[in-house]
Amino acid sequence: MEQLNQNIYLAPEQLTANEANEKARPAERPEDRAARVKSMAASIVANGQELPVLIVEKTEDDVTTYEYIDGGCRVEAIATIRENGMPNMQVWCVLVDPNLDLFKLATSANIHRTQNSLLDMAHIVQEAFDRNGWRGRGGGKKVAEYLGILESRVSEYQKLLHAPADVKAKIDSGELTSLEAALKLMAMPADKREEIGTRAVELAKEEEEEKAERKSKRGHNPTPKVPLYDPNKHKPATVKAKHVEKAAKEKGVETTSTPRAKSEIAEFFEAVSAAAYPKPAVAFAEYFAGTWMKGEGSDRRARELFDSAVGMKAAKSKAAPKAAKVKKASAPKKKK
């Protein structure tokens, strides 16, 4: 057995996909995969392989094989480069312990790089439930902690497993990348959903074009750099829930305002905690999103941090003024 965490270099044909790696991107379309490999190959030629491929070593009947947990796109890209004029290039790999939770390792790497589609995430959430046998009350919280996502997201991703074909098609095409927008579109009448979805995409494009035009007028034209691999570089305009609602109104579909999802509230406060706000505001936002909304901590602590953030203490309810004590008049003394 090779020393764990050791760097080794292998030819692409020496590597095969581990089952955990395949489960980490279950909904990826072949054409999307091909585009990612092509872009990755160009990046590696220009900048070198920037991240290692995580692999496990397996020995059976005195035969040693290697399976990749994360980095399959890099393996395919280097195979393409070898076929096109650089036959000696090898894949930079790092050995990991095969006794680790390989599915968690593979999914965490992809989630961290935000490369998963909404449907990928839906299948990953379900796989986490199935692999660990988490059912009933508390299962969603366990999955959220396991994957490092918001607990409120777990049930929302599960809903996508039952999304209509037209909604799944828009997710597959990359037109629909916002979970809130996907759920909003799913709630639209079936006979209007396709045209509402199409119009929502148009509205998102129009909005991004307007933003680009405003930046151009302000003189924002940064010097282009050597492009690194970026799977999101040429993605379609991001359709948000507001675009779906606006499109629905244009098509004469009545929509009612809905309360913010727990995930939206948490994301708002997570953004606050990551911004350059005063420390008391950041402390409250971190506690609210990371502790209180998960059902942990206490209301009292949340109020204390909020008071500190706004620079005041909560006003205590004033008790009714006590009645003034009246000195009782002493009875007149009897004359002897």
pLDDT value for 320: 46
pLDDT value for 261: 62
Secondary structure class of 308 (helix, strand, coil): helix
In angstroms, the CA 301 to CA 281 distance is: 14
7-115: CATH topology: 3.90.1530
Q: What is the pLDDT along the chain (336 residues), one digit of tens a residue?
A: 456 778 999 999 999 999 998 888 887 888 888 988 999 999 999 999 999 999 999 988 888 999 999 999 999 999 999 999 899 999 999 999 999 999 999 998 877 766 688 999 999 999 999 999 998 778 999 999 999 888 888 999 999 999 999 999 888 888 888 899 999 999 999 999 999 999 999 999 998 888 878 777 766 555 554 444 444 444 567 888 889 999 999 999 876 655 566 666 776 777 676 667 888 888 888 888 888 887 788 888 988 999 998 886 655 444 445 545 545 555 555 555
Alpha helices for the chain (secondary structure H):
19-24, 30-47, 72-83, 102-112, 118-132, 139-147, 151-160, 165-172, 179-186, 193-217, 241-250, 262-274, 279-290, 299-310
Structure tokens at 299: 């209301």
pLDDT value for 318: 46
Say if residues 128 and 147 touch (Cβ distance below 8 Å). Answer: yes
pLDDT value for 95: 94
pLDDT value for 219: 62
The answer to whether the predicted template modeling score (pTM) of the entire model surpasses 0.85 is: no
pLDDT value for 277: 80
Question: Where exactly are the structural domains of the chain?
Answer: 7-115, 117-160, 163-220+234-250, 262-310
